[in-house]
Structure 1
Amino acid sequence: MANDIATRFWLAATTSHTITVSLATLGGLWATCQLYQLASFTHLNLLHQTTIGRYAARSRDGRPTTWALVTGGSDGIGKGFAEELCQRGFNVILHGRNEKKLDGVKAELERQWPKSEIKIIVFDASSGFKEGSEKLEAVVGEIKALNITVLINNLGGGPFPSYMPLGEHSAARMREFIDVNATFTTDITRLMIPVLAKRSSALVMTVGSFVGAIGAPYVSIYSAVKAYGETLTRALHIEMKAEKLPIEVIHLQVGMVQTGREAARKVSFLIPSSRQLAASALAKVGCGLSVVTPYWPHAVQFNGMMSLPGWLMERMLLNMVSEERKTEQEALKKQ
């Protein structure tokens, strides 16, 4: 009997030790992951030095000789990118669908940065694909001889109002969301890769959204096409390496930003201006990642939400979207 008691005691002690070691190992692994994430966050946002300069070149008189193409460049984040790229020594090609607005931005940029050349190209992604890709191919044909080293895929959004249950969308509205956010981004990237591949190095940067990673109610189509953009970037990031093409590919996870369309939003800690967002994005060039959250308060917000229990994250997300939907409905009443 004494042997039985000793055996049971030994088994209990061994089991307890095994559980303790297992928990300690799991705790150690968790702590290591947290430290790694903290170190990565600190390096990306505080220590990393951008390499955007490798894509820019100037002539002896200081004039830029390289070009950046910015889609959706007539206002908002696109305009912010155009300003930041001019500041960093690029000529800029502005894409949009409203030639008058593009001319206004062109004149503004030329006044601020007289050494930079500004060109405009006009293509309406919401209707331009009804006859295929021929129109876009013709537009790209007009600029492909330029020394383009940077493509900023910024065009996004969709018809107004944006916030609507899926069942209330018409087929035309659904198609517009897909064409503006997915078809255009894919097609312009497809057409520009052979152009960029001729350079010694080039950059493709695509503006995405948090909703592409987590999905948001009342913007279900928009969420889906932004998820598509992120997946496309991840695939191209690997493909460029496999093909040995010197093209850096980055997808940007973006939260709320004060843009032309959301001018009512006030700039705050969690809501940067369009130019702040663009500056943060260009600061991440050369980081080696295919997906980044460029504005660090957005990263804190996003990671915090993703660490919450599913039911709580859904409730927070619904509250955020409901506020945006309410603001949009109020804007509709004023029209």
Structure 2
Amino acid sequence: MSTSGEAVLRAVEAPLFWLGALTAAWLSVCSACRLLSVLRVWALGNGRLVSPSKLGKWAVVTGATDGIGKAYAEELARRGFAIVLISRSQEKLDEVSNSIASQCGVETKTIAVDFSATDIYPKIEDGLAGLEIGVLVNNVGVSYSYPEFFLNVPNLDSFIDTTVNVNIISVCQMTRLVLPRMLDRKKGAILNISSASGMYPVPLLTIYSASKAFVDFFSRSLLAEYKSKGIIIQSVLPFFVATKLSKVRRATLDKPTPERYVAAELSTVGLQSQTNGYLPHAIMGWVTTALLPARLLNSYVMGMGLSQRARYLKKQKQG
């Protein structure tokens, strides 16, 4: 090597060394912070943040008679909240209300409405009048009967209206009714139940996936507007939970019962503004969004949807 080349090498050697050292230190600090954050959320949790003394007396849960919604109502009642149950069937509402009142000894209130309609919100507003609402769980939702191409969805016109009204309009309108009172008291939590299907496009569940993506973006935008006002707003994006809506009958580690999922999810409130709510789901969310290329993920999801569609149609033909 020539003398001039050696001189150039010596000149850049020290800067390159320090650049490498600073990069390694930065990556180490970031990794340590991420690890501490993971431990904070999934090992320690938020203690008893979600409690009437810290947020307010009443919790309002939509879609409260089945699955995740029922599990939220029961868990919040166990934590001492009085519960407003909102769902379509008065018979089911009475059953869940009586069960919660007898087991947890808290006040309950029911409002029977069909969220596929848009003229229901004055009735809900009247039912919530005068209540100190600390938690709102926007859980009500509808999905597909089976994966299907957009134009082949049965009763497409009415299905579009129903999905938008239940999955999107309900979140906006319930937030409109409850948020002002939380702002007056400078405390409260709104948990919007989105879906892992809202994290990336899910073909053959197109309308559902898009509606849940709306819920996620709505939640994150709303948080930016009102975080400084003392309001917790969280986007909850579960993968499969063993419910009627998901058609998962048997709970497993990655497909928990609603009760197990909700208990885990509530420990993330105040710690994560966007959460998968359950450690195995958080790992799945990280793998699918951070590790898998979008094209590969889209191809896999499409293939899974086609397989489920084929099984459903074959079963219908045989039946």
2:129 corresponds to which of 140, 144, 147: 144
Q: Distance in 1 between matches of 2:241 and 2:147?
A: 17
Q: Which runs of 5+ in 2 are unaligned?
A: none
CA change 1:175–1:33 in 2 (3 A) is farther
Aligned twin of 1:76: 67
For residues 140-165 of structure 1, give each alpha carbon's deviation from its aligned partner in whole angstroms, at most 9, with x where no partner exists.
2222212221111111123x424222
Cα distance, 1:330–1:15 mapped onto 2, change above 3 Å: farther
Of the three residues 82, 104, 120, the one matched with 1:135 is 120
Percent same amino acid among aligned pairs? 26
TM-score for the superposition, normalised by structure 1: 0.83
In the alignment, the residues of structure 2 paired with residue 331 and residue 37 of structure 1 have an alpha-carbon distance, to the nearest angstrom, of 46
Correspondences of 1:43-58 after superposition (within 5 Å): 43-56=40-53
SS at match of 1:214: coil
2:114 maps to what in 1? 124
Seen in structure 2, the aligned counterparts of structure 1 residues 212 and 71 have a Cα distance that, compared at 3 Å, is same
Structure 1 range deviating more: 210-219 or 168-177: 168-177
Cα distance in 2 for residues equivalent to 1:333 and 1:21:
69
Moved more, 248-257 or 69-78: 248-257
Shift of residue 323 of structure 1? 5.4
Cα–Cα, structure 1 residues 183 and 333, in superposed 2: closer, same or farther, change >3 Å? Answer: farther
SS at match of 1:149: strand
**What does residue 241 of structure 1 align with?**
227
Q: Partner residue of 1:99? A: 90
CA distance in 2, matches of 1:83, 1:138: 24
For each residue in 1:255-283, what CA deviation from the matched residue of structure 2 results, as whole angstroms up to 9, or x when unmatched? 11011333543211111111111111211
CA distance in 2, matches of 1:26, 1:38: 18
User: In 1, are the aligned partners of 2:51 and 2:81 still within 8 Å (CA)?
Assistant: no
SS in 2 for 1:197: helix
**Which runs of 5 or more residues in structure 1 are unaligned?**
58-64
In the superposition, relative to structure 1, how do residues 54 and 22 fare at CA in structure 2: closer, same or farther (>3 Å)? same
Asked if 1:155 is matched to 2:153, the reply is no
Deviation at 1:55, TM superposition (A): 2.8
Q: TM-score, normalised by structure 2?
A: 0.87
- The aligned residue for residue 62 of structure 1 is none
Give the drift of 1:80: 0.4
Q: Tell me the distance in 2 between the aligned counterparts of 1:331 and 1:26.
A: 57
Which residue of structure 1 aligns with residue 99 of structure 2? Answer: 108
Match of 1:318 among 286, 298, 302: 302
Residues 1:334 and 1:123: Cα distance change in structure 2 (over 3 Å): farther
The alpha-carbon distance between structure 1 residues 216 and 18, as it changes in their structure 2 partners (threshold 3 A), is: farther
Alignment of 1:293-304 (within 5 A): 293-304=276-287
Cα distance change of structure 1 residues 107 and 31 upon mapping to structure 2, 3 Å threshold: same
Alpha-carbon separation, structure 2, partners of 1:22 and 1:213: 36
Matched residue SS, 1:267: coil
Mark the CA change 1:264 to 1:241 in structure 2 (over 3 Å): closer, same or farther: closer
Could you tell me which amino acid in structure 1 is paired with residue 203 of structure 2? P
- Once the two structures are superposed, residues 288-328 of structure 1 have per-residue CA deviations (whole angstroms, 9 ceiling, x without a partner) of x3212210111011112222233433344335445554565
The 3-state SS of whatever aligns with 1:152 is: strand
> What residue in structure 1 maps to residue 30 of structure 2?
33
Query: Which residue of structure 2 lines up, in the alignment, with residue 183 of structure 1?
Result: 169
Which secondary structure does the structure 1 equivalent of 2:7 belong to? helix
AA matched with 1:89: G
Task: Report the equivalent of 1:291.
Answer: 274
Q: Which residue of 1 aligns with 2:246?
A: 262
Determine the structure 2 residue equivalent to 1:6: 3
